């Protein structure tokens, strides 16, 4: 781990967001992650992406959405609660309060801080709770990650502007010049950090959520099929109802069923209503699956007939 950080000291910010504490001695990345409860595969994927630009396959389902979510949330806190106010303070200290241009720069910075705060809070109010629900197996019907991705914008615009104005137009003198240069370094660093943050969201987080959505959809279909196969109402399907199901699956009308079983059409209708209530199956295809799964009809014979 120490080699990784020594070679890429920018990773220090990322360590905190992953919840990795310093003081890990000579332990390997794997050991540190295991000890501190961090998914090492996801950690290394993020590191590899940020340092080497390595982009995993869109189908990489080993990336932990939970770990990435925690990382992004902590990154937001780091940026909103620590970095933005810290730069504001440094900027204020390094600018001449009597200079009109300085006031404008501070105002531009505040606008920028506001924009970025709105951007991050939007994610915290919409995307993050959506992902938390997904992780609990609950998929909201009117939202998906593509809606988020379509509207996810670049937030570095005004930061860029603040930096350019300082470099191009602000007269520097003496000590203030050093302070301002130092603040500029911070602004550059944070612009890069923010760009990386946004890229992690787009390139790693969004595809990982997409995979989770697909898995849940698949599980949902499986659950529905399992409900069809197993009686969801819990009430027993009577022998007569089973006979009706077989007739229905064979394509018989109510009248044909009535004649075939020597009962009235009204009785057939009542049985059908009870079957729907007990099984919660409303389609012939669903009834067919139920009949095959419960050996009411022979699948081979049925396939030949159809």
Of 43-51, 94-102, 199-207, 271-279: span binding Fe ion (CB under 5 A): 199-207
Rounded least distance, CB 201 to Fe ion, Å: 5
Q: Which is nearer to Fe ion, 109 or 205 (CB)?
A: 205
Q: Which is nearer to Fe ion, 1 or 127 (CB)?
A: 127
Of 39-47, 95-103, 193-201, 259-267: span binding Fe ion (CB under 5 A): 193-201
Q: Which is nearer to Fe ion, 100 or 153 (CB)?
A: 153
Rounded least distance, CB 153 to Fe ion, Å: 8
Q: 122 vs 26, 118, 131, 245, 287, CA distance in Å?
A: 40, 6, 14, 51, 45
d(CA 71, CA 79): 12
Rounded least distance, CB 152 to Fe ion, Å: 6
Q: Which is nearer to Fe ion, 189 or 199 (CB)?
A: 199
Of 40-48, 184-192, 200-208, 235-243: span binding Fe ion (CB under 5 A): 200-208
The 8-class DSSP code of residue 251 comes to T
Rounded least distance, CB 231 to Fe ion, Å: 46
Q: Which is nearer to Fe ion, 39 or 123 (CB)?
A: 123
Rounded least distance, CB 41 to Fe ion, Å: 21
d(CA 142, CA 34): 37
Residues numbered 126 to 185 that lie near Fe ion (CB under 5 A) are none
d(CA 117, CA 56): 29
Residue 173 · residue 40 · CB < 8 Å: no
Outline where DSSP puts E strands in the chain.
none
Q: What count of other Cβ atoms lies within 10 Å of the Cβ of residue 18?
A: 23
Residue 149 · residue 80 · CB < 8 Å: no
Rounded least distance, CB 121 to Fe ion, Å: 10
d(CA 277, CA 235): 9
- From residue 112 to residue 131, the character string flagging contacts with Fe ion as x (rule: CB under 5 A) and all else as - is -----------x--------
Nearest CA-CA partner of 162 in 116, 111, 225: 111
d(CA 121, CA 9): 28
Residues numbered 32 to 71 that lie near Fe ion (CB under 5 A) are none
Q: Which is nearer to Fe ion, 41 or 122 (CB)?
A: 122
Q: Which is nearer to Fe ion, 158 or 260 (CB)?
A: 158
Rounded least distance, CB 299 to Fe ion, Å: 51
d(CA 217, CA 273): 29
Number of chain residues interacting with Fe ion (CB under 5 A): 2
d(CA 149, CA 199): 11
Binding site for Fe ion (CB under 5 A): 123, 201
């Amino acid at each position: 781990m120490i080699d990784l950080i020594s070679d890429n000291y920018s990773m220090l910010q990322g360590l905190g967001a992953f919840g990795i504490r310093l003081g890990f001695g000579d332990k390997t990345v794997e050991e540190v992650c295991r000890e501190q409860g961090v998914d090492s595969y996801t950690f290394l994927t993020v590191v590899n992406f940020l340092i080497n630009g390595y982009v995993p396959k869109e189908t990489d389902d080993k990336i932990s959405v939970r770990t990435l979510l925690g990382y992004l949330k902590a990154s937001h806190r780091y940026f909103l609660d620590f970095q933005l106010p810290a730069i504001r303070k440094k900027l204020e200290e390094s600018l001449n309060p009597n200079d009109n241009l300085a006031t404008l720069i501070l105002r531009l910075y505040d606008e920028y801080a506001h924009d970025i705060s709105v951007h991050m809070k939007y994610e915290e109010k919409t995307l993050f709770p959506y992902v938390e629900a997904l992780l609990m197996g609950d998929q909201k019907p009117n939202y998906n990650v593509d809606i988020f991705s379509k509207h996810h914008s670049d937030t570095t615009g005004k930061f860029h502007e603040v930096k350019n104005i300082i470099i191009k137009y602000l007269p520097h003198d003496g000590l203030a010049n050093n302070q301002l240069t130092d603040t500029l370094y911070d602004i550059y660093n944070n612009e890069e950090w923010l760009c990386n943050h946004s890229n992690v969201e787009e390139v790693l987080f969004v595809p990982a959520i997409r995979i989770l959505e697909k898995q849940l959809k698949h599980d949902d279909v499986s659950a529905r099929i399992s409900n069809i196969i197993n009686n969801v109402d819990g009430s027993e399907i009577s022998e007569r109802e089973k006979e009706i199901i077989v007739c229905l699956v064979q394509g018989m009308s109510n009248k044909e069923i009535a004649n075939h079983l020597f009962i009235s059409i009204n009785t057939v209708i009542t049985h059908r209503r009870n079957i729907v209530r007990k099984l919660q199956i409303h389609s012939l295809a669903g009834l067919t699956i139920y009949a095959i799964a419960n050996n009411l009809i022979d699948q081979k014979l049925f396939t030949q007939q159809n």
